[in-house]
Amino acid sequence: MKRRLILFIPLIVALVLGIFLWQGLKLDPRELPSALIGKPFPQFTLSTVKDENAALTQDALKGEVSLVNVWATWCVSCRQEHPELVRIAKETGIPIYGLNYKDTRPEAIRWLDEYLDPYRFSLFDADGRVGLDLGVYGAPETYIVDKEGIVRYRFVGVIDRNIWLNELLPEVNKWR
């Protein structure tokens, strides 16, 4: 009798595992939790893409509600979202700061020259340490940072006009 029950253990394990996987299909992959929401932007001292002698810290992000956009030249999705960032910067005046993630400076400079530069400045995070501190899964990711330098919102994925108007702009306006 016990032997027969033992034969059902793999079936029960497979059934339980199947239930967990089924539940996972209902999740939105863009809704990745961030431990930084409500906390200060991570500390850093980085140069900018265009000025390797600059030494900016997280205090440079304070004073206005802003977007911090994680981007890279190797990121195909970043190329897709870039025209929308240029439009947002031109039309809204909302400060956008870049975090160039695991890239090379010459390629990043070429990118900004070729595709226009929507950023007030773009931090150069060659080794990805600041990205790691932010909990970046990959580029593009965009964070809303309030006037005091507190991370208020995180968006993973490509920003298009619809995402900007219906998701990010309302969040920005909450913290103005």
Q: What is the DSSP letter of 150?
A: B
Q: Which two tokens stand for residue 117?
A: 């530069």
Query: What pLDDT is recorded for position 100?
Result: 98
Q: Which two tokens stand for residue 21?
A: 């996987």
In the numeric block, the tokens 């029960």 are attached to: 12
Query: What pLDDT is recorded for position 119?
Result: 98
In the numeric block, the tokens 């600041």 are attached to: 130
Q: Which two tokens stand for residue 85?
A: 């960032």
Query: What pLDDT is recorded for position 2?
Result: 66
Q: Any long-range contacts for 111-118 (C-beta under 8 Å, 24+ apart)?
A: 111/73, 112/49, 112/50, 115/79, 115/82, 115/83, 115/86, 116/82, 116/86, 118/82, 118/85, 118/86, 118/88, 118/89, 118/90
Rounded to 10°, the helix 76-92/105-115 angle is 50
Those residues of the chain that have pLDDT short of 70 are 1-5, 7-8, 11-21, 23-33
